[in-house]
């Protein structure tokens, strides 16, 4: 199972800590920046700049086509029309390793891969948790990122770390990508689960 017990148990134990994966990591950072009740934040393979992270997934031609479609959709919405629905993987272009995981583990789930609006892609391209990450301090922030992540570059977490205030911690996972290790019994998953549990316990004043 993907992300089952270790993180969810930690979240229920320490309810004012936020944990997010990928885009969810950026969302956790943005939410904590505006909510002082959050005691600590963990971002795993997180996104600091939506536009930069999506550009990383595309070649020059597919990136140009995506921007053209988003701009045309923006104009159509301004003129009173609805937003076009598209295949989500026209926006998020999976690298080979992540695609293998998605095809084997996620496509079997009902509703996975449903169409998304180009309006949502427009919002994603303008989403920049990096602009607000400094507001988390003095609450602790843990950033974890796979060094071989072909979907969201390690640059995302490295940039967030550079912009964040103290206390902060960056853990780069050597030889790890985006999701291929996201199984309960995988050694990397267990390593990350331990890091998260220990970090949240420290950030919440509990052991």
Residues 95, 151: Cα–Cα separation, whole Å: 6
Other CB atoms closer than 10 Å to residue 68's CB: what's the count?
Answer: 10
pLDDT digit string, tens, across residues 164-191: 999 999 999 999 999 999 999 999 999 9
Cα torsion 99, 101, 114, 73: sign: negative
Q: 0.85 exceeded by the pTM?
A: yes
pLDDT digit string, tens, across residues 71-115: 999 999 999 999 999 999 999 999 999 999 999 999 888 888 999
CATH topology of domain 5-49+128-203: Rossmann fold (3.40.50)
The domain locations on the chain are 5-49+128-203, 54-124
Residues 198, 185: Cα–Cα separation, whole Å: 18
Q: Strand, helix or coil at 137?
A: coil
Q: Strand, helix or coil at 149?
A: coil
pLDDT digit string, tens, across residues 43-66: 999 999 999 999 999 999 999 999
Query: Of the candidates 45, 65, 46, which has an alpha carbon nearest to the alpha carbon of residue 55?
Result: 65
């Amino acid at each position: 199972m993907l992300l089952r017990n270790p993180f969810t148990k930690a979240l229920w134990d320490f309810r004012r800590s936020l944990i997010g994966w990928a885009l969810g990591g950026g969302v956790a950072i943005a939410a904590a920046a505006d909510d002082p009740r959050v005691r600590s934040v963990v971002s795993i393979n997180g996104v600091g700049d939506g536009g930069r992270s999506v550009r990383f997934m595309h070649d020059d031609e597919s990136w140009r086509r995506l921007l053209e479609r988003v701009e045309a959709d923006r104009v159509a919405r301004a003129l009173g029309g609805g937003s076009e629905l598209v295949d989500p993987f026209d926006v998020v272009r999976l690298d080979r390793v992540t695609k293998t995981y998605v095809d084997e583990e996620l496509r079997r789930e009902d509703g996975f891969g449903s169409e998304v609006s180009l309006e949502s892609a427009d919002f994603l391209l303008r989403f920049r948790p990096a602009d607000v990450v400094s507001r988390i301090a003095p609450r602790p922030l843990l950033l974890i990122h796979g060094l071989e992540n072909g979907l969201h570059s390690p640059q995302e977490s490295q940039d967030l770390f550079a912009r964040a205030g103290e206390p902060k911690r960056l853990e780069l996972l050597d030889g790890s990508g985006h999701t291929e290790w996201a199984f309960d019994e995988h050694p990397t998953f267990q390593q990350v689960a331990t890091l998260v549990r220990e970090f949240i316990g420290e950030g919440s004043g509990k052991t």
